[in-house]
Structure 1
Amino acid sequence: MKINKRHIIALALLFSSPAFSLPADYGRKESPDLTLWYDKPASQWEETLPLGNGRLGMMPDGGIEREHIVLNEISMWSGSEADYRNPKASESLPAIKELLMQGKNKEAQERMFSDFVPVQPETGNTYGAFQMLADMYVDYVYPDTGSVRSYRRQLNLDESVAYTTFTKGRTNYVRGYFVSRDKDVIAVHLKTDRPASLHFRLTLSRPERGILRKPCEGKLELTGELDSGNPQRQGVRYAAVAEVKLSGEKSRLRPQENALEAVSADEAWIIVSAATSFLSGEVYQTKAERLLADVTGKEECLNTLKQETVQSYRHLFGRTGVSLPENAVISTLPTDRRLEAFQKQDDPSFAALYYNYGRYLLISSTRPGSLPPNLQGLWANEPGTPWNGDYHANINIQMNHWPVEPGNLSELYQPLIDLTKRLVPNGEASAKAFYGENAKGWVLHMMTNVWEYTAPGGHPSWGATNTGGAWLCAHLWEHYLYTGNKRYLSEIYPILKGASEFFLSTMIKEPRHGWLVTAPSSSPENTFYVGTDRTPVSVCMGPTMDIQLVRELYTNVIDAAAVLHTDTAYTRQLKEALKQLPPHQISRKGYLMEWLEDYEETDIHHRHVSHLYGLHPGNQISLVKTPELAEACRQTLNRRGDGGTGWSRAWKINFWARLGDGNRAYSLLRNLLHPAYTPTTPSQHGSGIFPNLFCSHPPFQIDGNWGGTSGISEMLLQSQDGFINLLPAIPDSWTEGRFYGFKVRGGATVSLEWKDGKPQRVEITGGWNPDITLKMPGKVRRVLVNRKKEKPDDYMKLSLKKGEKAVIVFKF
């Protein structure tokens, strides 16, 4: 779309005030790796632009006559705490184990279907779901009846501000949208370049459980209570308050029965505050009103609100970034058309945009003191979100956090750490209820919510997986590897130990080899055939992913105990148990086995590839240490294929990056970035990506976004094998580029420039661990470290104090 130069000059003059300004690149050459933009309003929610501050969120559609803005608050959860313990479970467990020992998986599964399930409360749905906060509608009236020209919707990732701009008749309009991190409010700023030409009607509503107070003093207030599922318990209560502030000599604000009407304004602010009883307790309503008053009660606050928002956001976003070559033909297209063109023409800068967008989404959807991002991050547009919008602990909540540490956003781990701590008491109760009084420690199965649910899922075919807690513990340990904080390690050590105690007390010896295995369990959501009637079954002993997670957990507990100088006797038990775990097994056809037996899976293209956990995100399989197993993983991935749901494609990017195949990883990235629907069939959603770059399972699941972000990071830098590996999986078309601020294990920070696919200059800043090993690029002739020549061996050893820098230049 061509932008009129006079229109740009007029807008630039109009919005040059400190309170509000257009993005720096508006009307100039696009910043293709930092800008999402569109030349028309959103036609469905998956085209709207997400904004958030880690607690509050909004998604405006940029409508011209009527604008719909969906509002969110991360603790809008229905349901309540409940008891799901089933006394039949532990009573039936010996029989289930015995059937599995006899190879009677079908019979064991049938017994689990009847007995090894949670008892559902009779009162209602106590599990609950993440829900939207409210719908905000702005109906505009225009004094000029002329046509709309130069329409543009834009999200500037460098600012965390979205804009809608257009000309109607002779009047230029700009709307700005952002969510303040410091003031903790949602802001919509409206301006025009003609006095008294801004007229609109504002409403606030909710599809259910919302009561709108009669408008007064320029405010709309929506309150309600979500369904707890239990008449004896209160549900989450919430309050959302919107206030309108106008400027202009002729401006008037008139309350109506269920709306506020603004007339003849030069400028308007719509400020929204919200709070819930979940995060704020009984003072939630007072908190919402106080947050609002702190902004709207002082004119100087409004004048500096955007500037403060951008500054606070950039403190996080500006730490890290990626730039890749542009395709001059398609990199300047609107994002929806650029997404379509990406399937036909290569555009590396689009991958950079996707990486930067992933970090933007993380910063926007969680923060210390809040909750972890759920299946939809922070954003929902209905009371009943798909899959309850909860936390799936067999891949999804974990994938949400893969980019956190490498992306230099370490503090965003805090909500997940806090959630894991809260799960432990219920996890201890579930361990004894489902696995018997002799079960120690704590357990989490494949799903959880804000009410600390730890019981098995409702159907054993997918709900029996009991290594969710072990996987979360891997994240707790990963946070330590990047930060080196021993005080933190001492806080989480009991959690790690408790998770290991569960497996140490419940695993059994399988009959063929005497290996220690989990039982009963499953390989997440996958099934295999048994018997002459070829019955699909999921319940089994010791699936490969379970063993990998237990091996990793035991190893991490041993290492943590050594750092803290504690539990020598206990870690001796873990070391003995480690020797008895099953090894990785390779099938006769060369692929890594998913189960103890080489069962025939019902779908060789199944979306879960859980048995490659040891390749990624784990580090038990690598090209350097276990090349034979790495080759078996390659065979597994070739057999599985490159299809699957959105998040499945994202995980495969990471697998291929760990295998050092940049072109295959990039092929999977382009597969992930396949349009989820075509312009002619917008209601038919497939796997891939929506126009606003949300990942489509389908439907929308945000884990694929962060899995893809992680995959790009893994293509550019790896450190899981004990050394820094530069450009380990660089695609041929990424001939040149740069990244800055990437973190590696040990806490060091790495920035890199490359050309012709080879590193040219790398800057490493020391972290908590001074001992750094750098793998030398192939065919390097000369190496300069801080301008001093060094011998180009296969590996270079560096010793850097925290904050100390080394600049390394490679000559080929």
Structure 2
Amino acid sequence: MENADEVVLIADLRTDFVPGDMEEMTSSALNGAEKKGFDTLKQEHETDFGRLFNRVALSLGEGKNEMATDERLNLLKEGNEDPDLIALFFQYGRYLLISASRENSPLPANLQGIWNDNLACNMQWSCDYHLDINTQQNYWAANVCNLSECNIPLFDYIGALAEAGTKTAKTVYGCEGWVAHTMANVWGFTAPGWGTGWGLHPTGGAWLASHLWDYYRFTNDEVFLLRAYPVLKQSALFFLDYMIEDPNSGYLVTGPSTSPENAFLLDGKQLSLSMMPTCDRVIVYEILNACQNASELLQVDEEFRGRVIDAIDRLPPFKIGKYGQVQEWQEDYEEAVPNHRHTSHLLALYPYSQISLDGTPELAKAAAVSIDRRLNAADWEDVEWSRANMINFFARLKDSKKAYGSVLGLINELSRENMLTISPKGIAGAPTDIFVFDGNEAGTAGIAEMLLQSHEEYAELLPCLPEEWSSGSYKGLCARGGFQIDLSWSDKAVKHALVTAKVNNTLKLKLPERTGHEKYYKNKKQIDPILLPYGIVRIDLQKGDIFEVAYD
């Protein structure tokens, strides 16, 4: 190229993983793009991307947005407040998910999303699908952050895993249904890994499949549920066949299996395998409970539902150990690696809600003890995904100071100057910092969780608001039940809340305070909703209805 002041490069990248004539599709796409020209292509891109991105806005306060991002990050590390930079980090997570996982994407986002800096690809554990938290974290923000369509590649992948996992269930376990373990790829690898300390995790596929049920809980889309139900059912069938009765307790248990990548001490030995580690109990319950509820909603499989209910009743309870912690295993073993990055037994706190402040206060207290013991252990393995995990844990525990501290820790210590999160040098043998997608996404989910929660039977506004975000607003965040919420607050007090019903449903909304000076409106007409204890208001809404709360 000579004597030019502008070059327009048009590229179309494809893979034969997706059936079709690649050469023909590529040629057609390039010719069409060339005919449109740069300005038209840019406008089409902005329209297409903005359709998703512009659904949500977030303001957490003033910022230094006249400065370059890397300069703002340096100032944040020095202890200067920049709430607008945290809002930018939140939106960056949404931006990355939109960029990595669209409705027509052939595959879901992997450990590096869709990006590869020629460092990640040289690690044996990267650019793949880890089913012991990482792939799940990639999609934690999708529903609450109004990007439900971005789930579609994940759901397609779960369907493919279920098909491949049927063979694994039969061959490895002699069981019906389907199963997948810790590590998966695009070719249907669902077998256990080759190391028992990390590879024998038979609830990995079920953990991923639980995203199907949570999507339904956010959207109330029964057409989707009808399609997803067979995958959930086949997962449940595996566990109904696989679990056995513990002769000592009479409970149904999985095993032998691991609490992902962690180990315990017994008779001076470091061991990984046990019967029904707590994470298995949590995940099995989630899948069985999803099937019970889905079969009732769809009015199918009454006999199967009876088996599910019976199995749920026979699952072991959570246990609190000698330190006041949630036990990671059925026995109160000593942890072999007290500073370990994995806390899979606390899935019950987040992303699930089997442990909650309102529902199980003693277990919530024990979960806090488990977290404190892990964080305060010498040389805690502080990596991008485990730090992002802490944001969500502390949000559920409504500890705003620690949640905010974890947000700062993720951005200041585990992100680079472009705000991509990293797994630090030395972790899992990495010779250098490795960009990993999950920290950005789980961090974004955690920030949303501080501002809106809906895992109980109600949507709660500002459940974990730190002092540093005393005034702000958001629009477009989503709550389970099919609701979209806009909110503004000042001096930590709600000023205005607007809830749009995306489906017909009953809204239960928990307000941070109910002073008697608030006014309620339905479709601009003042009303008196049903007032419940604990600051909860209840109102029946039809699709398209708008419910507002305004404070004088």
- Tell me if TM exceeds 0.5: yes
Aligned residue in 1 for 2:91: 356
Matches within 5 A, 1:93-104: none
User: Does 2:348 align with 1:619?
Assistant: no
State the SS of the aligned residue for 1:368.
Answer: coil
Matches within 5 A, 1:400-549: 400-436=138-174, 439-531=175-267, 534-549=268-283
User: Does 2:444 align with 1:705?
Assistant: no
Find the partner of 1:594 among 325, 328, 336: 328
Cα contact 2:112–2:126 (8 A) shared by 1? no
Structure 1 residues 372 and 797: CA distance shift in structure 2, 3 A: same
User: Does 2:6 align with 1:264?
Assistant: no
Paired with 2:126 and 2:209, the residues of 1 have a C-alpha distance of 24
Once the 2 structures are TM-superposed, how far is the Cα of residue 473 of structure 1 from its aligned partner?
A: 1.9
Cα contact 2:482–2:505 (8 A) shared by 1? no
Once the 2 structures are TM-superposed, how far is the Cα of residue 385 of structure 1 from its aligned partner?
A: 4.5
Paired with 1:268 and 1:338, the residues of 2 have a C-alpha distance of 32
Give the aligned residue type for 2:302: T
Find the partner of 1:695 among 392, 396, 421: 421
Paired with 1:462 and 1:301, the residues of 2 have a C-alpha distance of 51
1:79-102 Cα offsets, whole Å, 9 max, x none, are: xxxxxxxxxxxxxxxxxxxxxxxx
Find the partner of 2:15 among 265, 270, 276: 276
Give the aligned residue type for 1:627: P
Find the partner of 1:650 among 388, 409, 412: 388
* Runs of at least 5 residues in structure 2 that lack an aligned partner in the other structure: 425-433
Aligned residue in 2 for 1:334: 68
Matches within 5 A, 1:713-792: 713-778=448-513, 780-786=515-521, 788=526, 790=528
Aligned residue in 2 for 1:29: none
Cα contact 2:463–2:512 (8 A) shared by 1? no
Cα contact 1:280–1:287 (8 A) shared by 2? no
Paired with 1:425 and 1:391, the residues of 2 have a C-alpha distance of 16
Once the 2 structures are TM-superposed, how far is the Cα of residue 430 of structure 1 from its aligned partner?
A: 0.5
Once the 2 structures are TM-superposed, how far is the Cα of residue 327 of structure 1 from its aligned partner?
A: 4.1
Paired with 1:384 and 1:359, the residues of 2 have a C-alpha distance of 24
Say what the alpha-carbon RMSD is for the aligned residues. 1.6
Once the 2 structures are TM-superposed, how far is the Cα of residue 546 of structure 1 from its aligned partner?
A: 0.5
Aligned residue in 2 for 1:582: 316
1:576-619 Cα offsets, whole Å, 9 max, x none, are: 11111110111122111000011111122210111110110001
Once the 2 structures are TM-superposed, how far is the Cα of residue 558 of structure 1 from its aligned partner?
A: 0.5
State the SS of the aligned residue for 2:7.
Answer: strand
Cα contact 1:529–1:600 (8 A) shared by 2? yes
Paired with 2:87 and 2:19, the residues of 1 have a C-alpha distance of 38
Give the aligned residue type for 1:348: P
Paired with 2:440 and 2:69, the residues of 1 have a C-alpha distance of 16
Which is further off, 691-700 or 300-309? 300-309
Aligned residue in 2 for 1:319: 55
Aligned residue in 2 for 1:568: 302
Once the 2 structures are TM-superposed, how far is the Cα of residue 380 of structure 1 from its aligned partner?
A: 0.6
Matches within 5 A, 1:8-407: 262-281=1-20, 283-296=21-34, 298=35, 300-328=36-64, 331-343=65-77, 344-370=79-105, 371-382=107-118, 384-386=121-123, 387-407=125-145
Paired with 2:334 and 2:504, the residues of 1 have a C-alpha distance of 46
Once the 2 structures are TM-superposed, how far is the Cα of residue 790 of structure 1 from its aligned partner?
A: 4.2
State the SS of the aligned residue for 1:405.
Answer: helix
Give the aligned residue type for 2:543: K
User: Does 2:398 align with 1:660?
Assistant: yes
Once the 2 structures are TM-superposed, how far is the Cα of residue 340 of structure 1 from its aligned partner?
A: 2.3
Once the 2 structures are TM-superposed, how far is the Cα of residue 779 of structure 1 from its aligned partner?
A: 5.2
Structure 1 residues 385 and 740: CA distance shift in structure 2, 3 A: farther
Q: How many residues align?
A: 529
State the SS of the aligned residue for 2:392.
Answer: helix
Once the 2 structures are TM-superposed, how far is the Cα of residue 801 of structure 1 from its aligned partner?
A: 1.0
Cα contact 1:358–1:706 (8 A) shared by 2? yes
Paired with 1:748 and 1:641, the residues of 2 have a C-alpha distance of 35
1:39-97 Cα offsets, whole Å, 9 max, x none, are: xxxxxxxxxxxxxxxxxxxxxxxxxxxxxxxxxxxxxxxxxxxxxxxxxxxxxxxxxxx
1:451-494 Cα offsets, whole Å, 9 max, x none, are: 11110012111000110121122101111112222222111111
Paired with 1:467 and 1:385, the residues of 2 have a C-alpha distance of 28
Cα contact 2:498–2:547 (8 A) shared by 1? yes
Paired with 1:347 and 1:658, the residues of 2 have a C-alpha distance of 24
State the SS of the aligned residue for 1:763.
Answer: strand
Give the aligned residue type for 2:490: K
* Runs of at least 5 residues in structure 1 that lack an aligned partner in the other structure: 1-261, 676-687
Q: Which has the higher strand share?
A: 1
Give the aligned residue type for 1:663: K
State the SS of the aligned residue for 1:725.
Answer: strand
TM-score, with structure 1 as normaliser = 0.64
Paired with 1:789 and 1:286, the residues of 2 have a C-alpha distance of 60
TM-score, with structure 2 as normaliser = 0.93
Aligned residue in 2 for 1:639: 373
Find the partner of 2:537 among 796, 800, 812: 796
Structure 1 residues 500 and 661: CA distance shift in structure 2, 3 A: same
State the SS of the aligned residue for 2:201.
Answer: coil
State the SS of the aligned residue for 1:381.
Answer: coil
Paired with 2:141 and 2:122, the residues of 1 have a C-alpha distance of 24
Aligned residue in 2 for 1:41: none
Cα contact 1:782–1:790 (8 A) shared by 2? no
With CA pairs under 8 Å and 6+ residues apart, which has the higher RCO, 1 or 2? 2
1:687-735 Cα offsets, whole Å, 9 max, x none, are: x011111111132111011010000000000001010100000001101
Cα contact 1:275–1:285 (8 A) shared by 2? no
State the SS of the aligned residue for 1:808.
Answer: strand
Give the aligned residue type for 2:14: A
State the SS of the aligned residue for 1:311.
Answer: helix
State the SS of the aligned residue for 1:753.
Answer: strand
Give the aligned residue type for 1:549: I
Cα contact 1:276–1:285 (8 A) shared by 2? no
Paired with 1:565 and 1:294, the residues of 2 have a C-alpha distance of 48
Aligned residue in 2 for 1:257: none
Once the 2 structures are TM-superposed, how far is the Cα of residue 280 of structure 1 from its aligned partner?
A: 4.5
Paired with 1:266 and 1:465, the residues of 2 have a C-alpha distance of 56
Once the 2 structures are TM-superposed, how far is the Cα of residue 742 of structure 1 from its aligned partner?
A: 0.6
Paired with 2:511 and 2:126, the residues of 1 have a C-alpha distance of 47
Once the 2 structures are TM-superposed, how far is the Cα of residue 767 of structure 1 from its aligned partner?
A: 2.2
Paired with 1:602 and 1:700, the residues of 2 have a C-alpha distance of 28
Aligned residue in 1 for 2:428: none
Give the aligned residue type for 1:617: P
State the SS of the aligned residue for 2:335.
Answer: coil
Q: Which has the higher helix share?
A: 2
Cα contact 1:765–1:805 (8 A) shared by 2? yes
Paired with 2:516 and 2:373, the residues of 1 have a C-alpha distance of 39
Moved over 4 A (4+): 789-793
Cα contact 1:622–1:629 (8 A) shared by 2? yes
Matched residues, percent identical? 39
Paired with 1:500 and 1:321, the residues of 2 have a C-alpha distance of 39
Cα contact 1:508–1:516 (8 A) shared by 2? yes
1:163-203 Cα offsets, whole Å, 9 max, x none, are: xxxxxxxxxxxxxxxxxxxxxxxxxxxxxxxxxxxxxxxxx
Paired with 1:486 and 1:703, the residues of 2 have a C-alpha distance of 29
Paired with 1:720 and 1:810, the residues of 2 have a C-alpha distance of 26
User: Does 2:363 align with 1:629?
Assistant: yes
